[in-house]
Structure 1
Amino acid sequence: MSDVQANKHDFSANVIGHFPGGVHPPERKHPASSQPIRKLKLPQELILPVRQHIGPSGKVLVKVGERVDKGQRLTEAGLSQGLPLHAPTSGTIAAIEERPTAHASGLPEQAIVIHPDGENRWGNKHALPDYHDVEISRLLELIQEAGIAGLGGAGFPTAQKLAQQKPLRHLIINGVECEPYIAADDRLMQEHADDIIAGIRILQYITRCDSVLLAIEDNKPEAIKAMAEAIDDNPQIQLKVVPTKYPSGGEKQLIELLTGHQVPSGKLPMDIGLLMQNVGTAYAVKRAIIHGEPLLERVVTLTGESLQQRGNVWALLGTPIQHLLDESGFTPEKKQRIIMGGPMMGFTLPITEVPVIKTTNCVLAPTEKELPSPGPELACIRCGACADACPATLQPQQLQWLAKAKDYESLEKHNLFDCIECGACAYVCPSEIPLVHYYRKAKAEVRNIAREKAKAEQARKRFEARQERLEREKEERLERHRKAAEERKKMQQEMQQEAQQKNSDEPGSKAEESTEKPAGKSAAVAAAIARAKAKKAAQAAKESPEESNSAKGSES
């Protein structure tokens, strides 16, 4: 029995429920939501980190100095969770080296650097406009080969997510985009609604799911209108407008809004018959299957009062953040922060020479007045505001204390990994405690400990396997020696038997000689004895006359 059958959830497509906690920060999506997506001029270089998704990176396929075409694969897909990387435009491979990446630490990772040639020359494309004649397994291969990862979250490989074999009740398409400032999905839905619906139909075909719930937050009226027109009379796709509340776009929170049911702790939506994809991912799937184009660019919101031209742009993967700022009229302040992502879940970049990657949805350049820097961390006053705001019904203050104490076992018992790092707790904290920072660090430590345990377990298994192998080889060696000894003994016995058989078949030879030798020796002994007796007899006969003469003399 499947997990879906075991959990008889009565999902209703008309449910618009609620989830616990949540906050209402200022939205600040204007003017980005009202400006058309614009194209940028090519940067002087594109910096492409080899790994831009959850999973291992692939082997680099190009060399420095090599000319590449647009869409050409730069890396292999690698293992099951691996995704290939493609050239966003034509040009020359200028370097393969470590470069700072889009991470709060700014630590360098291996990257491929391309100098564009301005020709935008495409390589080979493999379009499948009539995908209904293609095996689902082949479509999944094409999605993986296109390098598509989830564009609305952590960057999980889309093909692997779609390949799950459990039956689905609903395919949920997430167009909520609840984070303040960000309007990338909003503008994509306004301008490319038909492409998104085409991508949704491909996802339906792959998952064999007849029910699609397309969710959009009620603060996006133009996107709602565009998507409703694109859906038209399709009864399998239902448009669901959800109330504005942060973080309603979180996977588990949106599921609770749409179905009234919670995803159990430690489980996935798939376990209760649900699968969620972002509208941007659906668009990318359409481009990959229908047009044969890998993931080369994405919509990025450029906003903040330090920018003169705020809005959304089509940014090639690998575009340096500094190039985006320069193209938007950036006027930096003395204490300027550049945030990748939104103000709730984003992070401050240590430098601006990091690139746009597959999961980059926003670059925020606020003024200090617009978005003041956090103040000094104060002691927790145990007000409980963080617990009230937590959409995952956790105890944020308890998690923080355990994280500071490095009590990782208790952290797991208190469901640390149910935290979605939405930042609602830190947003309401009067002591300005960077709670999410503590959780991220603790999660990293727990994962590191788990990796070390796994490595130790693997080492133990390898050691035990080696010992078993050595013991087995020793026993096999002893057994070979035993068998060899038995063979030698058997051969000796056979040789002796053959010799005895040969002797019995030759009676006049050595056997008779051996009997004659003792007989001849006995005769010689007998002759010697006879001679000795004869000598004694002669001696006795000689002495007898002398004794008789002496006897006669004495009588006279």
Structure 2
Amino acid sequence: MALFTFSGGVHPADGKEFAKNSPITEYLPKGDVVLPLGQHIGAPAQPIVSKGDQVLVGQKVAEAGGFVSANIFSSVSGTVKAIEPRMTPAGAKVNSIVIENDGEFKEAAFEAKPYDQMSKDDVLAAIKEAGIVGLGGAGFPTHVKLAPKDPDAIEYIIVNGAECEPYITGDYRILMETPELLIEGLNIVLDMFPKAKGIIGIEDNKKDAIAKVEALVKGDARISVATLKTKYPQGAERSLIYATTGRSINSSMLPADAGCIVDNVATIVAIKEAVKDGKPLYERVVTVTGDAIKNPSNFKVRTGTNVQELIEAAGGFKTQPEKIISGGPMMGMAMFTTDVPAVKTFSCFLAFTKDEVAANQPSNCIRCGRCVSVCPQKLMPAKLSVLADHNQFDEFEKLYGAECVECGSCSFVCPAKRNLAQSMKTGRKQVLANRRKK
């Protein structure tokens, strides 16, 4: 059978074996929860509660601060303790709502209009009200993604079930345990775009998940499963669109420009829960894993839960880790503290006994060309990184540096151990900022 794939990419050890067989278990926070007002791309949410207010699970505590923004809901019942800057997993201090958890988890009333009585606008409003953002890591508000300029031009709704980032297994467990929720959510999105077909892309190292989903969509003319070649970054938006449809986009385009909308597995399930159950987004699946974790696990985690609590729930550390990461090892952010909240975009806590990257000493480029061969965008990372390091951003842009998807494949294969991805990321960020100014 031919597998769907793209040009370039790498094959890092996937580390899935640590947590892939760990069922999703619900974890209820014991301590205070911290809800940063910026858990998404776009404008921070604006608090609508004050210190001393009593709140319930699922109660809105902050409203979207603009069109590209998202509502935030309490994940516990208790008392608003403070609204103050707190550290996030990305290492930034963000204004946050701190809620003293009463441990009772009393819920606000969730209401949903019968689905068969909902218009497309009703569905979109429910998704927006629920505060859903991309749960694959980007955090782009989902209601914005589902409101393209030309809805009739959308031909494909692509579900990213690749989960190509090593170690993370949350989406895999959703596919194994509740695939029917995914199909229900996908059908909701397809009803919004009657001309579109659904494609669920799953890497071929998840054959059991592929079999489960294929059985559910058998005979469905609107939904198919694309078996993807196991390769990183197969789940990157551009790679996935090309692999499943043969269409290409660049940094000046949106997936909608190629007739596509892409959402990951967890996001699609959240859509189902918002539209049919009236449930806002206040929890997500988080993988706690790595060779330094005693019992690697997949937890359903309430937003705002302290990461240190999750580590303890997974048995704690076998030994003090040399490196801890928010997210996967390829695109995640190194952390310097575990005293941070699990936010909407927090998919994984990763702990390694050894920091292999810190042991690497970068040397001069040996012009081997490996970075070029693995780049999914066919760029020249070795040259672009030098331009970025020397603040030559105009030249960086002329050599298509803005097309970098920040996957880290170039750094992974570089025998000189150069920090290519970090330099590329800096250059790309500056170029995009300059474009916005113009």
TM-score of the pair, normalised by structure 2: 0.95
Shift of the alpha carbon at 1:53? 0.6
SS class of match (1:363): strand
Q: Specify which of 137, 151, 154 is matched with residue 135 of structure 2.
A: 151
Shift of the alpha carbon at 1:126? 1.8
In the other structure, the counterpart of 1:391 is: 376
Q: Deviations over 1:320-345 (max 9, x none)?
A: 11111111122264562111111111
Q: Which has more helix, going by share of residues?
A: 1
Q: Specify which of 397, 400, 406 is matched with residue 415 of structure 1.
A: 400
Q: Specify which of 37, 44, 47 is matched with residue 34 of structure 2.
A: 47
Query: Is residue 322–residue 353 contact of structure 2 (8 Å, CA) maintained in 1?
Result: yes
In the other structure, the counterpart of 2:178 is: 192
Query: Is residue 36–residue 311 contact of structure 1 (8 Å, CA) maintained in 2?
Result: yes
Matching of residue 426 in structure 1 with residue 395 in structure 2? no
Query: Is residue 171–residue 209 contact of structure 1 (8 Å, CA) maintained in 2?
Result: no
Give the Cα separation in 2 of the matches to 1:35 and 1:240.
Answer: 25
Matched letter for residue 143 of structure 1: I
Q: 1:248 to 1:64 in 2, by over 3 A?
A: same
SS class of match (1:33): coil
Shift of the alpha carbon at 1:228? 1.9
Give the Cα separation in 2 of the matches to 1:399 and 1:291.
Answer: 48
Shift of the alpha carbon at 1:31? 3.2
Comparing 193-202 with 218-227, which one deviates more in the overlay? Answer: 218-227
Q: Specify which of 387, 390, 400 is matched with residue 405 of structure 1.
A: 390
Q: Deviations over 1:51-108 (max 9, x none)?
A: 11111012211111111011111111221112110001211111110011121xx221
Shift of the alpha carbon at 1:165? 3.7
Shift of the alpha carbon at 1:407? 0.8
SS class of match (1:224): helix
SS class of match (1:354): coil
Matching of residue 377 in structure 1 with residue 362 in structure 2? yes
Shift of the alpha carbon at 1:395? 0.6
In the other structure, the counterpart of 2:239 is: 253
Matching of residue 266 in structure 1 with residue 257 in structure 2? no
Matching of residue 94 in structure 1 with residue 81 in structure 2? yes
SS class of match (2:284): strand
Structure 1: where are the runs of 5+ without partners? 1-13, 455-556
Give the Cα separation in 2 of the matches to 1:333 and 1:308.
Answer: 9
In the other structure, the counterpart of 1:522 is: none
Matching of residue 141 in structure 1 with residue 125 in structure 2? yes
Give the Cα separation in 1 of the matches to 2:186 and 2:321.
Answer: 44
Q: Specify which of 89, 93, 116 is matched with residue 108 of structure 1.
A: 93
Matching of residue 71 in structure 1 with residue 55 in structure 2? no
Q: Deviations over 1:306-333 (max 9, x none)?
A: 1111121111111111111111122264
Matched letter for residue 145 of structure 1: E
Give the Cα separation in 2 of the matches to 1:122 and 1:446.
Answer: 45
Give the Cα separation in 2 of the matches to 1:109 and 1:80.
Answer: 20
Larger radius of gyration: 1
Q: 1:209 to 1:324 in 2, by over 3 A?
A: farther
SS class of match (2:300): strand
Query: Is residue 248–residue 258 contact of structure 2 (8 Å, CA) maintained in 1?
Result: no
Give the Cα separation in 2 of the matches to 1:100 and 1:444.
Answer: 22
Matched letter for residue 15 of structure 2: R
Give the Cα separation in 2 of the matches to 1:361 and 1:221.
Answer: 22
Q: 1:406 to 1:330 in 2, by over 3 A?
A: same
Q: Deviations over 1:135-170 (max 9, x none)?
A: 211211110110000111411110111111422221
Alignment of structure 1 residues 108-507 onto 2, 5 Å: 108-128=93-113, 130-166=114-150, 167-264=153-250, 266-331=252-317, 333=319, 336-368=322-354, 373-450=358-435, 453=437
Give the Cα separation in 1 of the matches to 2:332 and 2:347.
Answer: 10
Q: Which has more strand, going by share of residues?
A: 2
Query: Is residue 61–residue 74 contact of structure 2 (8 Å, CA) maintained in 1?
Result: yes
Superposition CA RMSD, Å = 1.8
Shift of the alpha carbon at 1:16? 4.6
Matching of residue 27 in structure 1 with residue 14 in structure 2? yes
Matched letter for residue 444 of structure 1: K
Shift of the alpha carbon at 1:210? 3.9
Give the Cα separation in 2 of the matches to 1:394 and 1:298.
Answer: 35
Structure 2: where are the runs of 5+ without partners? none
SS class of match (1:352): coil
Shift of the alpha carbon at 1:444? 3.3
Matching of residue 18 in structure 1 with residue 2 in structure 2? no
SS class of match (1:75): strand
Matched letter for residue 88 of structure 1: S
TM-score of the pair, normalised by structure 1: 0.76
Give the Cα separation in 2 of the matches to 1:444 and 1:410.
Answer: 14
Select the structure with the greater relative contact order (CA < 8 A; seq sep ≥ 6).
2
Shift of the alpha carbon at 1:124? 2.6
Query: Is residue 127–residue 290 contact of structure 1 (8 Å, CA) maintained in 2?
Result: yes
Q: Deviations over 1:181-205 (max 9, x none)?
A: 1111000111111111110011111
Query: Is residue 374–residue 432 contact of structure 1 (8 Å, CA) maintained in 2?
Result: no
Query: Is residue 60–residue 71 contact of structure 2 (8 Å, CA) maintained in 1?
Result: yes
Q: How many correspondences in the alignment?
A: 436
Shift of the alpha carbon at 1:265? 5.1
Q: 1:348 to 1:332 in 2, by over 3 A?
A: farther
Q: Deviations over 1:216-236 (max 9, x none)?
A: 001112211221232242221
Query: Is residue 15–residue 258 contact of structure 1 (8 Å, CA) maintained in 2?
Result: no
Give the Cα separation in 1 of the matches to 2:250 and 2:51.
Answer: 49
SS class of match (1:74): strand
Shift of the alpha carbon at 1:449? 4.2
Give the Cα separation in 2 of the matches to 1:16 and 1:268.
Answer: 25
SS class of match (1:364): strand
Give the Cα separation in 2 of the matches to 1:321 and 1:381.
Answer: 41
Matched letter for residue 125 of structure 2: E
Give the Cα separation in 2 of the matches to 1:274 and 1:228.
Answer: 21
Matched letter for residue 49 of structure 1: P
Query: Is residue 91–residue 116 contact of structure 1 (8 Å, CA) maintained in 2?
Result: yes
SS class of match (2:110): coil
Give the Cα separation in 2 of the matches to 1:134 and 1:442.
Answer: 45
What's the % identity of the aligned pairs?
37
